[in-house]
Amino acid sequence: MHLPIPYRPEADIVSHRLASLEGALDWSAAVAAARPWVEAVRRHPPPFWAMESLLREYPISSAEGLALMRLAEALLRVPDAATAIALTADQLGRADFEGAADSTLSRLSSAAIAMSKKFLPEGDHPPGLMAKLGARTVVAATLRAVQLLGRQFVLGQTIAEAMDEARSAHRKQGALRFSYDMLGEGARTDADALRYLESYTHAIRAIAAGADAARPPEHNDGISIKLSALHPRYEDAQRERVMRELVPRVWQLCELAAAANLNLTIDAEEVDRLELSLDVFEALAARVAAEQPQWRGFGLALQAYQTRALELIEHVTAVARKHRLRLMCRLVKGAYWDAEIKRAQELGLPHYPVFTHKHHSDVSYLACARALLAAPDAIYPQFATHNAGTIAAILQMAEAAQAPFELQRLHGMGEGVYREVMKSTAAPVRVYAPVGQHKDLLAYLVRRLLENGANSSFVNQLGDEAVDIDELLTSPLWLEPTNANLPLPPALYGPLPARRNSEGVDLAVESMRAPLLAALATTAVPRVEAFDAASAATAVAASAASFRSWRKTPVEARAAMLRQAADSLQRELPRFCALLVKEAFKTWGDAVAEVREAIDFLRYYADEAERIMQPVALPGPTGESNELRLTARGPWVCISPWNFPLAIFMGQVAAALATGNTVLAKPAEQTPAVALEAVKLLHAAGVPTDALQLLHGPGETVGAALVAAPGVAGVVFTGSTQVARIIHRALAAKDGPIVPLIAETGGINAMLVDSSALPEQVVDAVVQSAFRSAGQRCSALRLLVLHDSIADAVIEMIRGAAGELAAGDPARLSTDVGPVIDREAADNIRRDLKRLDSEAKRLLAPASSSTEGNLIVPQAFEVTSIDRVTSEIFGPVLQIARWGRGGLSDPAEVIDRINALGYGLTLGIQTRIDSRAQALATRAHVGNIYVNRNIIGAVVGVQPFGGEGLSGTGPKAGGPHYLYRFCAEQTVTVNTTAAGGNAALLSAVA
């Protein structure tokens, strides 16, 4: 069975879920059962540290809640005192904890946390000795508060400690069962994965020692595992490798769990991993059936907020019956909602893969619960929820189905509700219990806070007396299904018909990637005739002649042509992606992104031209009118690079055409076929052939001849700083008008990382920024500057993560790094690698393939100082320097050193100190600054792109000021009294 595509209209799916629940549930009876539980919880609220009380005291929408969340996320992992002081001052300086209720944290807050305003330094300025002593005291108190917070949501820091706590809970709360979750995020390196494997193995053995193998698994404690923690490349594109390497690892754990009759649950992950997770699950299920058929403890978690949840349950049920198994299935709402929404928006997908209304997720949960209860031969349901109404509804449906089941709650949450539920029902209850060091708590805790801190969350509303109980227990079945309450990704930039977001492809969905792979087999790279440089004057003359009519074409008509070309490009996305893979050696992800960027340029500049080219009336004295107009300049030479042969080519051309100029387009010598097909689209959309001419050939002949030709009104260039200087000098040497130059050139793009940054997030950003597109982006990361206190650990993680990248044929979905553009580029990079081997410390061992053909595998070197990096290496080569010791201890000094390099294109800042990020961004002479993310992939109209200094002239491409440079300004003043008097003034007086 194939799951449906996850991107479908929300209302249609909810209507289907509602239909599946018809006659299955009496919500009034459920409310009657749940009301006493809610009333009891409000009469006897849970302790202050419980999630419900914490969120009521410090809601995440408040400064205090946000500060507490960010401190919990970062403070425990900061190794150096100076950064810890700065982080605490930054977060607590914007919050007021003195007004908290009379409680443990309140007393701590007033005594210690509130002192931050008196003792903590402001910003990054080092305090004096007395102030520093005071600051350290406050940080210590805050650190203790965060550790106390962690203790409430982590059962134990080791499995032994957690099991001791579980035994204590058994004594206090009755017959609870536990599912232990070893804290930690996805592995970035194989060493990480093996460490997690050892942690899981140790935990299962410890649980097994205290279990009764004669009891069925549902009566024993168990463990939950994350597949992404057990393999560093747990993603659909690496399917073959995952099946080969991950399945045996998980099977080791299954054998241990089966021997002790424990339950082992595979945790749910993001939507794009669902099909892969099912493949792994089914492979393991088949092996369980063959080798451990008596074991009934194997299971997985299912997320009700996914739009395919019900179909997933049908699929899992079929798998269980096929292999004659009984699977344990934990039903949860889901924990990655905001990440799923953002990914769908970034990829330009047609719909969201998760429900966007809370009541829709609630309906889905109930429909899934009914489906699980209807298959007792195949499924043992485990219902994880803190919603009293949902619990009552499940108890009702389970009684009708006469099916065994259990309820689950998270450790540290929902205790009040379950205290009451356990008084009134014999339903077994299991606690999902995180285990691990408090510093590893951060990602888990923040997800829980965000998930339960929303205003619509039952956990949040339970303790709010202002929310009436009837409102709290409103039936989700009575609300009308509606479509997404967020703009769908196509309407991200405003309600349609505003600029439509380009549509993308989820390469993890087989049916969505199939047209791309089909296009690869049928798309040929066309031959492009070379232009004769001696004919440059003739081409310019033809362009000038066409300009006389093209400039008179109404801007609305020009814009309509660009939009038509965009629509055509959208329809032909698979063919253009295949062409990019074949001619420019793009990987599939990069190819899709580039076609989308070209579409966005066409639509954005169409809108912008219509906006800016309307006459503007200016104020003045009575009796005259004053009007400011923008007019086209004439023929523009557009010289585009090979690294973005479609997006930058189309962006330059579209900007010139939209503003009424004609274009002489000189594409990169290596990628003329992509440019030819782009020009054909524009001609088919109505752009005259003389208004847009394609002139293919070498830059030193064709490009130089066009730049030098008389009659050229402007030049727009993207490429190296060296060539930009040559063009600049050539234009300056010409007689006649001063010709404007728009140049976007390279950069020594840096990323500064302080010790408050999350290492896993840093490594993800570094690997993407430095090695994606084989490092052949203008914005690619060239220089990483790490705080010395975390440098060794981060470097080791980067080495491991880079080593996991697959280099080779870009036509393979599994390829991360394709070859560089040609042999000349490869030879240049190899010369730089040879130099670095003599000057710096090599961090990544060279692979044999790095000396063959045009494939350069990722490389990294540690240099002794920032100023040792003097030129851009245009390939997958990263240089790393340290700060935080010796003479470079202030992050502001790091920015000054980066500024001194002379380039100014992109900069990354990785820190959890908000004031530091803003101060450093202000200090940097850089065009694009990215905080706590990668530094590549600027989006048209969202992150206008371009630099300063050696990185270009501006204005920024894809921004609201770009088109102005293609225009001349004209002011028209008309004396309206010249015809005999000021009629308007006379009328006003009369």
Radius of gyration of the chain (CA): 32
Q: Is the distance from CB of 967 to CB of 921 less than 8 angstroms?
A: no
**102 alpha carbon, distance to own chain's centre:** 40
At 708, list the tokens: 């030098």
Q: Is the distance from CB of 299 to CB of 265 less than 8 angstroms?
A: yes
Exposed / middle / buried, residue 118 (Cβ in 10 Å: 0-12, 13-18, 19+):
exposed
- At 744 the three-state DSSP class reads strand
CA distance 346 to 769: 17
Q: Is the peptide bond before 740 cis (omega within 30 degrees of 0)?
A: no
Torsion of CA 218, 444, 771, 244, to 10 degrees: -10
Query: Which residues, other chains included, contact 787 with Cβ-Cβ below 8 Å and sequence gap of 6+?
Result: 80, 83, 753, 754, 755, 882, 883, 884
Which among 132, 188, 166, 248 is positioned nearest to 794, based on CA atoms? 188
Q: Is the distance from CB of 746 to CB of 781 less than 8 angstroms?
A: no
Question: Which stretch of DSSP H or E encloses residue 72?
Answer: helix 63-74
- Which residues are identified as catalytic? 744, 778
Phi, psi of 463 (to 5 degrees): -85, 0
Q: Is the distance from CB of 96 to CB of 82 less than 8 angstroms?
A: no
Q: Is the distance from CB of 867 to CB of 780 less than 8 angstroms?
A: no
H-only helix segments in 613-702: 647-658, 672-684
Hunting for tokens 């429900």 — which residue is that?
355
Q: Is the distance from CB of 497 to CB of 572 less than 8 angstroms?
A: no
At 751, list the tokens: 């990323």
Hunting for tokens 């300049």 — which residue is that?
633
Hunting for tokens 């190794």 — which residue is that?
79
What's the number of CA atoms in the CB half-sphere (13 Å) around residue 491? 11
Hunting for tokens 């227990």 — which residue is that?
473
- At 496 the three-state DSSP class reads coil
Hunting for tokens 């709010």 — which residue is that?
464
CA distances for 432 relative to 117, 226, 412, 591, angstroms: 39, 14, 10, 42
CA distances for 763 relative to 122, 280, 646, 788, 791, angstroms: 30, 26, 29, 16, 11
CA distance 380 to 316: 12
CA distances for 236 relative to 273, 682, 815, 816, 985, angstroms: 6, 36, 12, 13, 73
Which among 940, 902, 805, 899 is positioned nearest to 859, based on CA atoms? 805
Which among 403, 405, 363 is positioned nearest to 387, based on CA atoms? 363
| Count of C-beta atoms within a 10 Å radius of residue 467 | 14
Q: Is the distance from CB of 825 to CB of 874 less than 8 angstroms?
A: yes
